[in-house]
Amino acid sequence: MNFIVFPGQGSQKIGMGKKLSDNFTEAKEVFEEVNEALKFNLTKIMWEGSESDISLTSNAQPALMACGVAAFKVLSKLKNKNVKQLANFVCGHSLGEYTAMAVSEVFSLQNCAVLLRLRGEAMQKAVPVGKGAMAALIGINVSQTLEIIEKVQVHGICDIGNDNADGQVVISGDEEAVKKAIELSKKNGVKRAILLPVSAPFHCRLMEPAKKVMEKALNDIEFNTPLIPIISNISASPETDPIILRKNLINQVTGTVKWRQTMDYAKNIGVKKITELGSGKVLTGIAKRMLPSISAESLENPEDFNNIL
């Protein structure tokens, strides 16, 4: 029983995907196809741009997706297996759910790139710069977090954006409310509470304008039945119905990313291996902490594939 997982925003960095592109034709073709779909040279930003360029939400989202799909194509080629032979389930963190849908052929790579470019732009425009914030709370559970954010609603919207792992919750909302929540959390014994360097407050009610944009865009494209079940961020359960998959992507814009529950699901069904494809090792780290008895690996650069070669 295997999971393939794809990272979300925050895992981007300059140079990501270049070694794969230089060493594997399959990866190079993915990046060229994404550039063509977007009608601009995204890989130039990925490989030669600045940190601020690649961190821009509208660049980071399609770039991370391209790296994930490229790594998948390399893995598929080297093992001579399709996604159904490589994994039982596929999922991704936030934008990574789009990557999961691309590799399971719910929609095309070109559509995925265009959707994520639009998603990034819509999420950025939904809230004026400086109005929203996100913070990571370390050493706290969801029920404790809910108690804290309930007390700060008088200062504005504050929601759970990501339920990432045991003792790791990310809150999102109006800057004043988030900062008040940080103050309260420190008084309630939280180990660490850190404002995150993000350009917008993702996965909270402030993203409602972006949700409307994505609802229209997602309703305009065809959704196919996935080749293997996709674990949804919204439900933390496997889905194969195209109608539900579309609805989940729409609701995901303002909803909580339930990654802790996704890892709990993996444990409950007896998953033996989790493979993270694309930039970084964030999800691999969470898997190793939450499911220490399973095998967890990240495949990003050519050397990571040496054991397969």
Entry field: residues in the chain: 309
State the amino acid at position 182 in one-letter form.
Answer: I
The whole-angstrom separation of Cα 127 and Cα 33 is 31
Q: Which residues are catalytic?
A: 94, 203
Tokens for 250, please give them. 């729409």
Tokens for 153, please give them. 């609603």
CA within 13 Å, CB half, 32: 8
Strand order in the sheet with 168-174: 158-165, 168-174, 132-138, 192-195
Query: Which residues 6+ apart lie within 8 Å of 309 measured at CB?
Result: 78
Alpha helix segments (H runs only) across 191-281: 208-219, 242-252, 259-268
Give the SS3 label for residue 308: coil
Is 98 exposed, middle or buried (CB count within 10 Å of its CB: 0-12, 13-18, 19+)? buried
Tokens for 44, please give them. 């130039």
Q: Largest Cα–Cα distance in the chain?
A: 57
Query: Which residues 6+ apart lie within 8 Å of 277 measured at CB?
Result: 4, 5, 6, 68, 71, 72, 75, 298, 299, 300
State the amino acid at position 124 in one-letter form.
Answer: Q
